Amino acid sequence: TCEINGMTSGYTGAGFKTVLPSQASAKISFRLVGTQDPQAILRAFEAHVQARMPADCKYEILGANGSPATMMGFENPVFEAARGALSDEWPRPAAFIGCGGSIPIAHFFQSEMGMDSILIGFGRDDDQIHSPNE
């Protein structure tokens, strides 16, 4: 997904001004899945922006960094160990689902250290995670 996390432009002080803003900024992030490459996504986004930029305007991309998605196969024995530990506390077996998330350290553990990570979340579908009323 492409997420616009915030935007600023124009006069933001007390009162109002009737001038057109000369610049704007946006904080944008991408949540990657599967084998998507962060640098390829950045290049595609920049090409998209450049193709739509009016001739008398310019843009600058700052702080572009990212981490690839990470996946661990459900056949990994750690899943059954986790299911057993969770079943000791709750009456039903844990349900494992693939879920998107951006936790760069999980990719680092996998790619640099050869270690898989299992992330266990406790919540409900209607928790509205990361929403204003989370």
Q: Is the pLDDT of residue 48 over 90?
A: yes
Same domain for 48 and 81, yes or no, is no
Q: Give residue 41's domain range.
A: 2-52
Residue 60 pLDDT? 94
With respect to residue 57, please indicate whether it lies within any of the assigned structural domains: no
Q: Is the pLDDT of residue 33 over 90?
A: no
Residue 59 pLDDT? 94
How deeply is 70 buried, as exposed, middle or buried, from its count of CB atoms within 10 A (0-12, 13-18, 19+)?
buried
Provide the 3-class DSSP secondary structure of residue 46: helix
pTM beyond 0.75: the answer is no
Q: Is the pLDDT of residue 54 over 80?
A: yes
With respect to residue 13, please indicate whether it lies within any of the assigned structural domains: yes
Query: How far is the C-alpha of 54 from the C-alpha of 107, rounded, in Å?
Result: 38
Tell me the per-residue pLDDT of 59-116, one tens digit each, with 9 for 90 and over.
999 987 788 888 777 788 888 888 889 888 888 888 777 766 667 888 888 889 988 8
Domain count, the chain: 2
With respect to residue 64, please indicate whether it lies within any of the assigned structural domains: no
Token readout for 20 is 């057109």
pLDDT, average across residues 51-61 = 95
Residue 4 pLDDT? 93
Q: Is the pLDDT of residue 121 over 90?
A: no
With respect to residue 101, please indicate whether it lies within any of the assigned structural domains: yes
Residue 45 pLDDT? 95
With respect to residue 12, please indicate whether it lies within any of the assigned structural domains: yes
